[in-house]
Structures are given as structure tokens and as C-alpha cells.
């Protein structure tokens, strides 16, 4: 199935951009696998059609803009922050204590401007939010990068082999699912920091690596332990959902004729799982991933709000809200702005996830294509009749 020709409907600028993006990806793959784009022309056209459907979803485009903003702030925000997260201005400038938004403070011959106000330590709230975005981005990406593949692999193995292997994997999965995820995450996040802290302090390479990831001072290495504990805790409770979804999909796919044909031809189990089964069961996982990134951000912020995440002087959005909650509502900005940042980041991932659910459904894509095609033909007919 190829995209509808330009004679049927007029492409938007976004369509042209995404078409070039898909073609560029195909060229990169061709360098490693010569002739890939020719053999997979239908797949390339299908990708373009997915982007075409996505480009006509206002919620999806709004979500994509919010996600791009979140990622950009998470990567570059700390470098554009006016003050460091550990700049405790209150020590030398008492006038910076809990300053309201859009304030200018003059102290000891120095002028400070705080667009979003300051916290109880005189730290610039805008700078803290920018640093907190880095922590939320790194935590969510690591959890998804480690937890999702684990769940996918276990689900593939359980669904394909069945029998005792399936029974063992699913009973372990059921054990984790039997506990409330947040309670289990709290338990692990409370226990792990003291085990991880010595490893971080005495490992210079790990200390430098973490300082780069979190845009932090290596001197604050001991405070990385609670954040790593939160990451491990969320990973431990996050993979069972993917295992159950993949396993259920594999059970319905493994009996298809193309799988049986691959077995008869002597194709290895690994290739059957990765090339014949996984591509046909990955769609619901992609939707779940986009939704879960927002969920991970919320869980991480929630654990930090409970005192199990970032510790002073390290910050993340949940920690900022917790520090400001004791001054709310008089010092409303300490809760409003980091809470709004969390809300927008989670909203973006949820909007994209809902849109992907429609885009990855062939019936929905065809209906979108049909509606635009019908609208364009009607417009063309009216213009022809008027002339």
C-alpha cells in the first residue's frame, strides 16, 4: 500500500518533512544493507502513511511539540541555567529568601533577577526546574531502555516456547504484579541507597559518568545513590506489564503459517522471534512505551516527593514540589511551576501515545486517508463546476 498521490490531495509541509526523514532513514539502512529500500518499498510507503496520519492529528502534534520541548530542556537546560543547582545565594544574600516571581533583588552591590522566584535557600527556581528536567529525562529514558527490553524478551520466550518455561516466567510475573507497583518501588527505593552509595563514592569513572548524565558536580556523588535507587526500583516493577502483553500477542501469532513455514525452512529460533514474530506484536508495545514514559516521570516525581529520590543539593521536579509544599499556598510559585512542568511533560507523552494508537491501526489510517481524499476530490469538483 502506497501513499495517495499528490494529484489526490495536497501534501502539507509536515508531510514533506516526514517523507524526507523516512527517505533519509532508508538511505542510512541501505549503507549497511545494500538494496534494503528497494526490497522494502512497501514498508517505506507504510511508514510515510503513518506519519501522514499523525500529521493530521492536532493532539498528536501538540504532544509531539511538548515532548520535543521536554527533551530539549532536559538535554540543554542545565547549560542555559542562570545559576547552578547548588548556588545557595541565601548564605551571602539574605534578601534572596523566598523571593516571588519576576523579582529583581539588589544585595551587597549585586543585582539578581529571578523570573520564577527563589526557594528557601535563595536558589533560582527556573534554574532548578531546568536541572530537574535533566533528572526526569535521564530516569525515564533509562527505565524504558532497560525495563522494556527485559519484559519483551521474557514475553517472547514465554509465549513462543510455552510449557514449563512459560509457566515459570508467568508465575514470576504474577508475583510482581500481585504487589502494588508503587509500594514495591518505595520498598526498593528505601533499601537500595545505602548499598549503592559506597560503590559510587569509590568508583571515579562511575562518579564522572553520573555527573555528566545528571549535569551535576562530582562532589555531590553521594547524592546520586537515591536517584539510582529510584531508577532500579522502577525498573524492577515496570517489566511485568510488557511481559504479559508480549506473551499474549505471541500466543496468537506463533501459529500463523509464515511462522510454520520459517520453522520448516530451518530458520533459527532467534530469527523467527526477531524477524517474524516481534515485528507483528510490537505495535501495542510502542503505544504503551509512549504512555509509560509519562507514567515513569510521575512515579519518579512521586518517590522524590516522599523523600526517596533526589536529596539536597540535587533536585528534581518532585523534590522541588516537596520543598515548596510546606510554604503553600503563601509561596505558591514553589509548587505551581514545577508542577506545571511535570504536567506538560506527562501530557505530551499521553497525547502522542493516544495518537500512535490510532496511527498504528491500519483501519484508522485508511479512514483518515479516505476522509482527506474525499475532501480533496470534493474541493476539486467544486472548483471545476465553478469554472
Average of per-residue pLDDT values in the chain: 85
In sequence order, what are the residues at sequence separation of 6 or more whose Cβ sits closer than 8 angstroms to the Cβ of residue 139? 227, 230, 231, 234, 296, 297, 300, 316
* Mean of pLDDT values over 60-71: 94
Task: Give the 3-state secondary structure of residue 113.
Answer: strand
pLDDT at residue 336 in the model: 94
Q: Residue written as cell 511538548?
A: 66
* pLDDT value at 335 more than 90: yes
Q: Which of 56-65, 174-183, 309-318 has the highest mean pLDDT?
A: 56-65
Residue 41 has pLDDT above 50, yes or no: yes
Give the integer Cα–Cα distance in Å for 57 and 102. Answer: 36
Given a cut of 60, whether residue 1 has pLDDT beyond it is no
Mean pLDDT along residues 288-316? 88
**Stronger pLDDT, 366 or 169, i.e. the higher one:** 169
- Segment 201-211 shows an average pLDDT of 88
Pair 303, 310: CB distance under 8 Å:
no
Q: What is the DSSP letter of 118?
A: B
Indicate the pLDDT class of residue 4, thresholds 50, 70 and 90. very low
What's residue 366's pLDDT?
A: 65
Cα torsion for 223, 225, 231, 236, to the nearest 10°?
A: -160
Question: Would you state the pLDDT for residue 10?
Answer: 54
- Chain-centroid distance of CA 324 in Å reads 26
pLDDT digits 0-9 by tens, 73-131: 999 999 999 999 988 988 888 888 889 999 888 888 888 899 999 998 989 999 999 99
Q: How confident is the model at residue 2 (pLDDT cuts 50, 70, 90)?
A: very low
Alpha carbon distance 69, 122 (integer Å): 27
pLDDT of residue 224: 86
pLDDT of 311 > 90? The answer is: no
Predicted local confidence at residue 5, as pLDDT: 41
Q: Which ranges in the chain belong to alpha helices (H)?
A: 13-32, 36-39, 41-55, 58-80, 125-161, 163-178, 181-191, 193-201, 204-213, 224-253, 257-264, 269-271, 278-281, 283-305, 317-325, 333-359, 362-386
Residue pair 46/1 in contact by the 8 Å Cβ criterion: yes
Out of 77-91, 96-110, 173-187, 366-380, pick the least confident: 366-380
Q: Which residues contact 206 (CB under 8 A, 6 or more apart)?
A: 199, 200
**How far apart are the C-alpha atoms of 243 and 151, rounded to whole Å?**
4
Q: What is the rounded average pLDDT of the residues 204-232?
A: 88
Give the rounded percent of residues in the chain with a pLDDT score beyond 70. Answer: 90
- Spatial separation of the C-alpha atoms in residues 141 and 296, rounded to whole Å: 9
Instruction: Name the phi and psi angles at 114, rounded to 5.
Output: -125, 100
Domains and CATH numbers, the chain: 131-357 (1.10.3720.10)
Distance of alpha carbon 61 from alpha carbon 351, whole angstroms: 8
- Using DSSP, state whether 103 is helix, strand or coil: strand
Report which of 41, 13, 4 is spatially closest to residue 26, judged by C-alpha positions.
41
The model's pLDDT over 246-285, given as tens digits with 9 standing for 90+, comes to 998 888 888 888 888 888 888 888 888 888 888 888 888 8
Distance CA 358, CA 295 (A): 20
370 compared with 218, residue with greater pLDDT: 218
Amino acid at each position: 500500500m502506497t501513499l495517495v498521490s499528490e494529484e489526490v490531495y495536497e501534501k502539507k509541509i509536515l508531510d514533506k518533512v516526514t517523507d524526507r526523514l523516512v527517505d533519509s532513514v532508508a538511505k542510512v539502512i541501505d549503507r549497511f544493507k545494500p538494496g534494503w529500500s528497494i526490497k522494502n518499498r512497501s514498508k517505506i510507503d507504510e511508514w510515510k502513511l503513518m506519519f501522514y496520519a499523525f500529521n493530521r492529528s492536532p493532539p498528536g502534534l501538540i504532544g509531539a511539540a511538548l515532548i520535543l520541548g521536554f527533551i530539549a530542556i532536559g538535554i540543554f537546560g542545565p547549560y542555559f541555567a542562570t545559576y547552578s543547582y547548588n548556588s545557595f545565594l541565601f548564605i551571602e544574600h539574605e534578601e534572596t529568601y523566598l523571593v516571588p516571581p519576576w523579582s529583581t533583588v539588589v544585595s551587597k552591590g549585586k543585582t539578581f533577577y529571578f523570573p520564577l522566584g527563589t526557594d528557601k535557600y535563595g536558589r533560582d527556581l527556573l534554574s532548578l526546574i531546568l536541572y530537574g528536567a535533566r533528572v526526569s529525562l535521564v530516569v525515564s529514558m533509562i527505565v524504558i531502555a532497560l525495563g522494556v527490553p527485559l519484559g519483551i524478551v521474557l514475553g517472547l520466550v514465554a509465549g513462543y516456547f510455552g510449557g514449563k518455561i512459560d509457566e515459570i516466567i508467568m508465575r514470576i510475573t504474577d508475583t510482581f504484579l500481585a504487589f502494588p507497583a508503587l509500594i514495591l518501588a518505595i520498598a526498593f527505593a528505601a533499601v537500595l541507597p545505602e548499598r549503592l552509595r559506597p560503590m559510587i563514592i569509590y568508583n571515579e569513572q562511575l562518579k564522572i559518568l553520573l555527573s555528566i548524565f545528571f549535569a551535576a558536580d562530582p562532589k555531590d556523588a553521594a547524592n546520586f545513590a537515591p536517584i539510582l535507587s529510584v531508577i532500579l526500583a522502577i525498573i524492577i516493577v515496570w517489566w511485568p506489564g510488557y511481559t504479559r502483553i508480549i506473551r499474549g500477542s505471541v500466543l496468537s501469532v506463533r501459529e500463523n503459517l509464515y511462522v510454520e513455514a520459517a520453522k520448516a525452512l530451518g530458520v533459527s529460533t532467534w530469527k523467527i522471534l526477531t524477524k517474524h514474530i516481534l515485528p507483528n506484536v510490537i505495535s501495542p508495545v510502542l503505544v504503551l512505551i509512549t504512555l509509560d514514559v509519562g507514567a515513569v516521570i510521575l512515579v519518579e516525581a512521586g518517590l522524590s516527593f516522599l523523600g526517596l529520590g533526589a536529596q539536597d543539593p540535587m533536585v528534581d521536579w518532585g523534590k522541588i514540589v516537596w520543598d515548596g509544599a510546606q510554604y503553600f499556598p503563601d509561596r505558591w510559585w514553589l509548587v505551581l511551576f514545577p508542577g506545571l512542568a511535570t504536567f506538560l511533560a506527562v501530557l505530551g507523552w499521553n497525547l502522542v501515545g493516544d495518537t500512535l494508537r490510532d496511527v498504528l491501526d491500519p483501519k484508522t489510517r485508511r479512514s483518515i486517508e479516505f476522509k482527506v481524499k474525499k475532501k480533496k476530490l470534493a474541493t476539486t469538483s467544486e472548483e471545476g463546476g465553478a469554472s
